[in-house]
Amino acid sequence: MTSAPRMRTFHEGERAVQRAAGADARAARVAGILGEQLSPVAGLFLSTVSCVALGTADAEDRMWATVLTGEAGFVQTGPKTVRICAARPEGDPCVPAGASGQVALIAMDFIRRRRFRVNGRVRRWDPSVIEMDVEEAYGNCPRHIRQRLVDPAPFSQGPKTTVLTRLTDWERRFIARRDTLFIATRHPGSGADVSHRGGPAGFLRVTGPGRVELPDYSGNALFNTLGNLWSHPRVGLVLPDFATGRTVQISGRAAVDHRPPPERWGPEVERVVEIDVERVVRTTTDHLG
């Protein structure tokens, strides 16, 4: 699902994390997967998915991520455009600051364990239609994608939102059962990004009402997420419950521990993203509370 290739210029944060990981040469090789538009194969893939996540910064420069679902075909594409026809829950904080704001998308096929990322600019952001201009597009490996069926309906049905500044016991219990999340970051000059993370249930650790910690494993060596955080520490998370439509969204500031203690995290964890929580939005449904 490659798109038209280009010479990728990494920004200073990506280069710094690549150097710290000793991955400069590998990143230069992998950069060939990046394209400036959607290939026909990528467009076909996007037309088949029933789940996407989006990431953007709001008017206060807080990063947010959100999940949208729909029947196959709810994502429509051209070589340089993406259109998503899906109702967003009322109260969803993931709203760009204005026209032409930075926005990122990741499309997920959980059954076939495939995913594809698109970064660009907002063209339209309405309650039921989102359009974006494509600036960067590329596929990802299937690692840590948990196979599951996705109901195309639950995230837009009867939502109730609660806005908090700290995590309560409700969020702690909810997070402890999640094996999938999406993380949104951005670089003010190079654009927004949203990435998928997976692991055993509870892999995102709640260490207090104002702190969560996210383990980071080996990946494609591009370090888009961690590079953005090196330059601009704002971060947004969304943890979805695909069975019920409940979500927890977190916006905060992050720092990266490049040498986490193996006795606490295990040998596979290479880094840990430490997130100070600033805002929490809990979305439930009328009948599930």
Given this model, what pLDDT does residue 288 score? 47
232 within some domain? yes
Given this model, what pLDDT does residue 2 score? 47
How many other β-carbons are positioned within 10 Å of the β-carbon of residue 209?
15
What count of residues does the chain have? 289
Residue 28 is encoded by which pair of tokens? 């230069």
Q: Label residues 213-252 b or e (16+ Cβ within 10 Å = b).
A: bbbbeebbbbbbbbbbbbbbbbbbbbbbbbeebbbbbbbb
- 48-91 pLDDT tens trace: 999 999 999 999 999 999 999 999 999 999 999 999 999 888 88
66 within some domain? yes
6 within some domain? no
Strand partners, 194: 184
Given this model, what pLDDT does residue 287 score? 46
Residue 34 near residue 139 (C-beta atoms within 8 A): no
Total-model pTM: 0.93
- 5-30 pLDDT tens trace: 445 678 999 999 988 888 888 888 87
Given this model, what pLDDT does residue 1 score? 55
- 212-248 pLDDT tens trace: 999 998 777 789 999 999 999 999 999 999 988 899 9
How much is the mean pLDDT over the chain? 91
29 within some domain? yes
- CA 68, CA 96: separation in Å to the nearest integer? 16
Does residue 32 surpass a pLDDT of 90?
no
55 within some domain? yes
36 within some domain? yes
The amino acid that residue 171 corresponds to is E
The distance in angstroms from the start CA to the end CA of the chain is 40
- 249-261 pLDDT tens trace: 999 999 999 999 9
Residue 155: which pLDDT band, with cuts at 50, 70 and 90? confident
Q: What percent of the chain has pLDDT over 70?
A: 94
How much is the average pLDDT of 141-151? 87
Domain harbouring 149, CATH code: 2.30.110.10
4 within some domain? no
The domain total for the chain is 1
Given this model, what pLDDT does residue 157 score? 59
Q: Which domain holds residue 255?
A: 12-285
Residue 4: which pLDDT band, with cuts at 50, 70 and 90? very low
7 within some domain? no
Does residue 115 surpass a pLDDT of 60?
yes
